[in-house]
Amino acid sequence: MGKVFGSVRARAALGATVVVAVALVAAGIAVLVVLRGNLVDRAEVDAGAAARAVASKVAGGVAYRELDLGEDTPVQIVDEDHRVLAVSDDLEAVTGTGSSSVRPVAAPSDADADDADDADGGDTGEVSSEPEYSSGTARIDGETEEYHWAAVEVTDARGEDVTVYAGAPLATEQGAVGTVRQAMLIGLPLLLLVVAGVTWLVTRRALRPVEGIRREMAAITASTDLSRRVPEPGSHDEVAALARTTNETLAALEASVERQRAFVADASHELRSPVASLRTQLEVGAAHPELLDVEGAVEDVVRLQRLAADLLLLARLDAGERPARTERVALDGMVREELSQRTGDRVPVVTELSPAEVTGSRGQLSRVLGNLVDNAQRHARGEVRVSVRTEGGRAVLAVADDGGGVPEGERERIFERFVRLDEGRSRDDGGAGLGLAIARDVAERHGGTLTVREGPGGGALFELRLATGEERGPGR
């Protein structure tokens, strides 16, 4: 049960139902209020019209006992002392008017009225302009109902001020409001059920591709087969974008795993040769000490040490590890210092250095320089040139040789790990094929680039470009 109500479909259906319920309740209350107000206004108009009609007769000099008050509308006339002067027929009880009595007191006779008319010269009374309204009840023929009363003040022909009360029943308003309320109480739950069901079905259909993606991802996880892909729906919505992004992630993950497998296989292959050579030399030395090639054994150990250091650095770079210390590095000074410590280079190194500073790891930048110079030494015929300059706001470290150069179609491939274009070259001379890969990784983590093109002497020209501003450090 918790799983069902915790699903996206259930939450969407519940949310839509709650929103619709709140909207419908608010709309229903507004409708009832407006309907009741309109009906009450209508009752006020009817009551006011009836009260004015009676008041006009009183003002016109019609005697109270001769007033035709009818039976449809309850009417009560009271004087300033709240004495009842006249009531409509069959009115048995009343509340909300000027008096709760329904028995008229003795009204003036017609002769008195005629005398009043003669004395006043035949003047008529006056009806007030606006009625006042109140709510109450009236019992007619034994039935009590709620009424809206209109009170109109009038001066009769004798000059006395009286108030005419006329009522309009609220039964129609109550019946209409009750009918609408009953319809809402019945229709609202049914409508909410329809909304919840439609939302559930629509959400289920919309999320069906997501369930397919989830199942396929679960199958991929269980099988560890990264070549599989999740189904992509034909729509152009967010679910389709999710499927495409998921497949792109799987493709990148598959490529990463393949690179890791190839890296491990290549590393094992590269390590096997010096280890086997060193073991052979040591076994021969153990059996025949006079045949032990100490220098060869030392070279194999050094090669193993360098290869292990390269593999460790690549692992750290792949893990995104940043240098423990970054500083302002003067490239020209670093080049002088590093080249002064090199001995036994096969060809001379010529320098052309201008002042240039960058922010980064001196140790890693020295490794880049050493790898580029080592690569140039292996391919140069008679000279290697190292230069430092600034160009377009960037520092440029260039290493050129006068060898055979790099074919244009291979200029990106040489930065891949364990790649050696000259397969005929021995491993001892050619290296493991990690130097240029390490150099490019370090350059990128310093926010720079490492490229190769044809040099002035026809050989290869490697250029390391780094920002001179302090804001561009390693890994940024």
pLDDT, tens digit, 9 for 90 and up, residues 188-203:
888 888 888 888 888 8
Q: Is the pLDDT of residue 307 over 80?
A: no
Closest C-alpha to 4, from 214, 14, 21 = 14
pLDDT by residue (tens digit) across 114-137? 444 444 444 567 887 688 888 889
Contact present, 206 and 235 (Cβ < 8 Å): no
| 472: in domain | no
Are 383 and 407 members of one domain?
yes
Are 289 and 374 members of one domain?
no
Which residue did the predictor score with more confidence, 69 or 56? 56
Are 345 and 286 members of one domain?
no
Instruction: Give the residue from 318, 341, 373 where a domain finishes.
Output: 318
| 183: in domain | no
Contact present, 448 and 364 (Cβ < 8 Å): no
Contact present, 131 and 48 (Cβ < 8 Å): yes
Are 369 and 331 members of one domain?
yes
Are 106 and 144 members of one domain?
yes
pLDDT by residue (tens digit) across 91-102? 888 998 888 888
Q: Characterise 380 by phi-psi region: left (phi > 0), alpha (psi -120 to 50), beta (else).
A: beta
Are 33 and 161 members of one domain?
yes
| 6: in domain | no
Name the burial class of residue 217, with classes exposed (0-12), middle (13-18) and buried (19+) by CB atoms within 10 angstroms of its CB. Answer: middle
Which residue did the predictor score with more confidence, 57 or 423? 57
Q: Is the pLDDT of residue 389 over 90?
A: yes
Amino acid at site 331: L
| 223: in domain | no
Are 381 and 246 members of one domain?
no
Which is it for the CA torsion 39, 40, 44, 46, positive or negative?
positive
Contact present, 312 and 289 (Cβ < 8 Å): no
- Structural domains in the chain (count): 3
Are 36 and 148 members of one domain?
yes
Maximum mean pLDDT: which of 78-82, 324-328, 354-358 = 354-358
What pLDDT is stored for residue 464 in this prediction? 95
Query: Binning pLDDT at 50, 70 and 90, where does residue 40 land?
Result: confident
Q: What percent of the chain has pLDDT over 70?
A: 87
Q: Is the pLDDT of residue 55 over 90?
A: no
Instruction: Give the residue from 269, 287, 318 where a domain finishes.
Output: 318
Instruction: Give the residue from 318, 347, 365 where a domain finishes.
Output: 318
| 98: in domain | yes
Closest C-alpha to 27, from 152, 139, 184, 256 = 184
Enter the tokens of residue 157: 């022909």
What CATH number did the domain enclosing 264 receive? 1.10.287.130
Are 430 and 284 members of one domain?
no
Are 273 and 370 members of one domain?
no
Domain of 105 in residue numbering reads as: 11-176
Q: How many whole angstroms separate alpha carbon 247 and alpha carbon 265?
A: 27
Which is it for the CA torsion 52, 53, 58, 63, positive or negative?
negative
Q: How many whole angstroms separate alpha carbon 60 and alpha carbon 164?
A: 14
What pLDDT is stored for residue 473 in this prediction? 52
| 213: in domain | no
Are 300 and 411 members of one domain?
no
Closest C-alpha to 91, from 149, 173, 155 = 149
Place of tokens 């073991």: 279
pLDDT by residue (tens digit) across 219-260? 888 887 888 888 888 777 788 888 889 888 988 888 878 877
Are 56 and 167 members of one domain?
yes
pTM exceeds cut of 0.85? no
What pLDDT is stored for residue 368 in this prediction? 92
| 336: in domain | yes
Considering only 327-336, 352-361, 366-375, 465-474, which range has the smallest mean pLDDT? 465-474
Which residue did the predictor score with more confidence, 241 or 398? 398
What pLDDT is stored for residue 452 in this prediction? 94
| 196: in domain | no
The whole-number average pLDDT for the span 415-441 is 68
Half-sphere exposure of 292 (CA within 13 A, CB side): 12
Considering only 93-107, 325-339, 421-435, 436-450, which range has the smallest mean pLDDT? 421-435
